[in-house]
Structure 1
Amino acid sequence: MLPDNNKEQKSPKRRFLLILGVTAFTALCVLGLLLIFLDNFPPGLDATKKKLFGGFVLVYAVLRFSRYLKRGPDNEE
């Protein structure tokens, strides 16, 4: 038998915020990696600026997700 550690079910709001947070984190990571590794995305930007911007996007994704995990989806601000 599996242990029942979670006696209380997650609310729909908490579940939605978790899915939204994971989706935003994934999308930002993909965007950052696209900026760093693709040659012609976006056009008109040189390689150094693309890599810097991609790095900033990746750092922002990690900071945003860590703040979400630290604060938790229950807290409303």
Structure 2
Amino acid sequence: MSSNLHDKQKSLTRRFLLILGVATLLCVTIFGLMIMFNNNLELNMGTTQRMAVGGLLVAYGIYRSFRIFKKQPQDE
């Protein structure tokens, strides 16, 4: 079973891109939530605009999460 684990290890480049993708996902999602729910930010937007922009950022974060954790054909 452990030899099967070693056969499926990702290369250093793919691991780095995975970590970078997860960091981007977290930053975009947290930024979207901050825009939506933090009233202390000095944004010249109405409440509806803030919710729309924040919602788009959160939706983009969810889209990125599906793209990051999707199984690649070479991973099978």
- TM normalised by structure 2 equals 0.79
Runs of 4+ in structure 1 off by over 3 angstroms are none
Go from structure 1 to structure 2 and tell me whether the alpha carbon gap of 1:35 and 1:58 turns closer, same or farther (over 3 Å shift): same
CA contact 2:35–2:51 (8 Å) conserved in 1? yes
Tell me which amino acid in the other structure corresponds to 1:37: F
Distance of 2:71 and 2:62 partners within structure 1? 14
In structure 2, what is the equivalent of residue 55 of structure 1?
A: 55
Go from structure 1 to structure 2 and tell me whether the alpha carbon gap of 1:47 and 1:25 turns closer, same or farther (over 3 Å shift): same
Distance of 1:62 and 1:43 partners within structure 2? 24
Larger relative helix fraction? 2
Q: Deviation per CA, 1:31-71: give whole Å up to 9, x if none.
A: 01101111132421111110111011000111122022225
Tell me which amino acid in the other structure corresponds to 1:7: H
1:68 aligns with 2:68: yes
> 5+ unaligned residues in a row in structure 1: which ranges?
none
Go from structure 1 to structure 2 and tell me whether the alpha carbon gap of 1:28 and 1:48 turns closer, same or farther (over 3 Å shift): same
> 5+ unaligned residues in a row in structure 2: which ranges?
none
Go from structure 1 to structure 2 and tell me whether the alpha carbon gap of 1:71 and 1:10 turns closer, same or farther (over 3 Å shift): closer
Aligned positions, number:
72
In structure 1, what is the equivalent of residue 23 of structure 2?
A: 23
Go from structure 1 to structure 2 and tell me whether the alpha carbon gap of 1:55 and 1:48 turns closer, same or farther (over 3 Å shift): same
- TM normalised by structure 1 equals 0.78
In structure 2, what is the equivalent of residue 6 of structure 1?
A: 5
